[in-house]
Structure 1
């Protein structure tokens, strides 16, 4: 039995329809209404699982108006599930304004965890995951995209982007221009689907792969750009040796802190170096 007047944020499959939790299916079947980004798209998911709950649209173009209508229903005791076309709602998808207003109105908001393309791609990419940045979609305009990528010149964390098939080649070319042809990156496409593909290498190698076959450019992409690697030449050999010794006995974070204090270096720099070692 679910509490009346609750908004549920429900993650849905990003490709493979089996990637949905039992709890998500139960909630989708029990709520009074499902607010979806594209009702025609989401209807296929509900039909697949024989869920008859009524759908209503909530997308970028009607969110302001629709939010008022849905909040009124929630305050009257109806339960509503919010879903996006795929993955976790609000992550580069509509819904922020609606959820924010629900919180301000004192409406209970309950998240149901599940698929997210960024996390799905990152966990299998082989890039550093101790820290990462999620940037969503890069700007469409060339100057804004250039400025966004320039910020990664000294970024040591892995950065995750979403990209469309028609812009992916241009984006990788700009990565080469701004960050260099040797910057490591991973392209993930068609996640959880039949033709799921991961391609990793230098930015130039990834561009070559994309341009080698137009089929490589099809599907929605997650682009993951490796962080700038610490320059070992800036770290004394004695510090590197001590770090290696300590890493055999202690967690990397502790080993980095001790080495940094001993040689007057930055802990983050040594931590990144430890990951490379």
Structure 2
């Protein structure tokens, strides 16, 4: 069978990978699943550093691509910390998870990958998970002095304070949140039902009525009548250029159609319109 060349990079399949890694991790592994084409291994919180070192050094998962958090408030240990590992030599990825609560810190993995410092700071900032051994565990996305953790499922959507830059004070100032739009009052009254306030444009309806309204009920008021018709019939402008050049007076407008005599019947051999337009009856 001929080999098929493909531009996509080669990658390792999941066949046997989960069993091999669980066997290598031993008691550190708590659970392992393969879903949606991805292998996920849950390990004990206190053994995360040893687990990731073993996967890096002995199973060629050289890179830590990401550390993510998840919040499940109904669980006793509500937070999950997820580590995304990549093997460059195998072109294969796995996820390693652990659980913790609000008070129990997670061992840092900055001893294995220095980039974990910033990734752990992000999880701490968004979820409030602390990492034991991280020497620079500061907020990284929210502002200094921010209270709370935005990605917690119980975090208020509106927050408590808002900040803005004050041009007068030349610094960032904190102020209580003002939700003027949410607390505006709407009566939802139809204008046809009548509102308690004056709608835009209705102020014109309050104008006083005219004492003597002007009417145009008679020819005297409108200017119409026999005198107006006589004046309109007079020629005001001179004749047209065609009249001057030919000496022929313009015949004027033709008579109204209803005043013209009927045409005489056509003579000779002519085709009847009805016979020309309508098909003959066929038996």
The question of a shared fold, defined as TM-score above 0.5 by the shorter chain, is answered with: no
Q: Which has the higher helix share?
A: 1
TM-score (norm 1): 0.24
TM-score (norm 2): 0.23
Instruction: Answer with 1 or 2: which has the greater Rg.
Output: 2
